[in-house]
């Protein structure tokens, strides 16, 4: 049996704040069966590659307007489908992990007129550079000649892929009515893979309240059902609801002020923590989370402050001595 009065989680990355709540969530995977056919031998084949978005944490950064490669690659494929005289799809890839906002993506397409494709790609690149220049100054959209593939997606399947990608919610869903600057619910399409048997989409759903989490799961289920795809959920984790006037929190704030000369911020955030699991089993326990300053989670620039780590270690030791 597990017994505890106090829970101190160290998986938080803002030295000047004490965390008192987090979201729950789950993963969701959609698989759409793919029908293949032989390619049109008169078409010219190209990889269309999107690079340079900053990415980030699928919860904490979902509202920052950084752009999602999954959304942009959907827009690109749809635009080509509508403007090209003919298009065939042989490859589609975007993102690597459902917990990270996708930074890049790639499609392999066949078209009859390379010059028209170049014009469209150049215009879309200019549009996206204008839209995201502040957060993604190195964004590029390029095309590279490719060999003719052995098989291509049947046109009916391509239409289903476009329909599914447009119907699935992706991004922030709504803000928290109790804390206006905090995201309450979202989902992130973190992986898109066109594989031999199926198109595979993997999402991470996050929500403070179960009703929002259920709604987003149902939205993905109905989107999948509408095109004959399968949908499964996995890795459920509970939310950690904010509670005011906790003695543990007040003690931590008092000690922080005495040690550092200023009051810490009290916050909740849009990401999951193990604290929710413990509080499900120990509902009477008091919980906080804290930790040293770190930046750019789930992205190549992720970094941790060593000096902050030293200070927060000393603060933790002092807090434990008071309990």
What letter does residue 84 receive in the DSSP assignment? S
- Residue 243's pLDDT is what? 84
- Residue 119's pLDDT is what? 97
The answer to whether 272 and 237 are in contact (CB under 8 A) is: yes
Class of domain 27-237: alpha beta
pLDDT in tens, 232-261: 999 999 999 988 789 999 999 999 999 999
Give, to the nearest 10 degrees, the angle between helix 69-83 and helix 155-167. Answer: 140
Please give the Cα distance from 216 to 202 (Å, whole number): 13
Write out the DSSP string of 213-278: HHHHHHHHHHHHHHTT-EEEEEEEE--B---SS-HHHHHHHHHHHHHHSSPPEEEEESS--THHHH
For range 199-207, the mean pLDDT: 98
**Two tokens, residue 243:** 């509670």
pLDDT in tens, 20-36: 999 999 999 999 999 99
**Which of 126, 152, 156 is CA-nearest to residue 141?**
126
The answer to whether 98 and 125 are in contact (CB under 8 A) is: no
- Residue 300's pLDDT is what? 81
What pLDDT band is residue 177 in, cutting at 50, 70 and 90?
confident
- Residue 230's pLDDT is what? 98
pLDDT in tens, 124-134: 999 999 999 99
- Residue 199's pLDDT is what? 98
Half-sphere exposure of 239 (CA within 13 A, CB side): 23
The answer to whether 69 and 105 are in contact (CB under 8 A) is: yes
pTM of the model: 0.90
pLDDT at 180 over 80: no
For range 72-79, the mean pLDDT: 98
What pLDDT band is residue 60 in, cutting at 50, 70 and 90?
confident
- Residue 2's pLDDT is what? 79
- Residue 12's pLDDT is what? 92
pLDDT at 213 over 90: yes
Burial class of 245 by CB neighbour count within 10 A (0 to 12, 13 to 18, 19+): exposed
Neighbour-count burial for 55-74, b at 16+ CB within 10 Å, e otherwise: bbbbbbbbeeebbbbbbbbb
- Residue 137's pLDDT is what? 97
Please give the Cα distance from 323 to 250 (Å, whole number): 12
Domain boundaries, the chain: 6-22+240-322, 27-237
- In whole numbers, what is the pLDDT of the chain averaged over residues? 95
What pLDDT band is residue 293 in, cutting at 50, 70 and 90?
very high
For range 60-89, the mean pLDDT: 96
The beta-strand segments (E) located in the chain are 6-9, 17-22, 24-33, 36-37, 44-51, 88-94, 105-111, 140-145, 152-153, 171-175, 183-194, 198-207, 230-237, 265-269, 286-289, 294-295, 303-304
The answer to whether 316 and 322 are in contact (CB under 8 A) is: no
Strands lying side by side in the sheet with 6-9? 6-9, 286-289, 17-22, 265-269
> CATH homologous superfamily of domain 6-22+240-322?
Zn peptidases (3.40.630.10)
The answer to whether 67 and 132 are in contact (CB under 8 A) is: yes
H or E segment at 322?
Answer: helix 306-322
pLDDT at 1 over 80: no
């Amino acid at each position: 049996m597990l017994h505890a009065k106090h829970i101190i989680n160290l998986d938080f990355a803002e030295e000047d704040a004490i965390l008192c709540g987090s979201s729950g969530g789950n993963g969701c995977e959609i698989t759409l069966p793919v029908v293949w056919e032989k390619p049109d031998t008169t078409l010219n084949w190209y990889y269309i590659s999107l690079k340079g978005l900053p990415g980030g944490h699928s919860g904490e950064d979902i509202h920052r307007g950084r752009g999602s490669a999954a959304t942009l690659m959907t827009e690109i494929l749809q635009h080509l489908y509508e403007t090209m005289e003919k298009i065939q799809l042989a490859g589609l890839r975007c993102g690597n992990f459902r917990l990270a906002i996708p930074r890049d993506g790639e499609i392999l397409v066949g078209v009859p007129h390379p010059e028209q494709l170049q014009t469209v790609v150049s215009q879309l690149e200019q549009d996206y550079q204008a839209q995201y220049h502040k957060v993604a100054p190195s964004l590029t959209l390029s095309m590279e000649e490719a060999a003719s593939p052995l098989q291509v997606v049947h046109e009916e399947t391509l239409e289903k892929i476009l329909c599914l990608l447009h119907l699935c919610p992706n991004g922030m869903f709504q803000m928290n009515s109790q804390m206006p600057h905090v995201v309450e619910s979202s989902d992130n399409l973190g992986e898109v893979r066109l594989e031999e048997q199926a198109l595979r989409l993997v999402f991470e759903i996050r929500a403070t309240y179960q009703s929002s989490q259920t709604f987003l799961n149902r939205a993905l289920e109905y989107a999948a059902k509408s095109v004959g795809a399968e949908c499964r959920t996995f890795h459920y984790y509970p939310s950690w609801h904010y509670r005011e006037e906790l003695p543990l929190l007040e003690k931590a704030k008092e000690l922080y002020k005495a040690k550092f000369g200023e009051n810490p911020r009290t916050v909740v955030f849009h990401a999951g923590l193990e604290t929710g699991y413990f509080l499900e089993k120990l509902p009477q326990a008091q919980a906080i989370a804290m930790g040293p300053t770190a930046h750019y989670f789930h992205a190549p620039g992720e970094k941790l402050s060593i000096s902050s780590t030293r200070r927060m270690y000393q603060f933790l030791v002092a807090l434990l001595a008071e309990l």
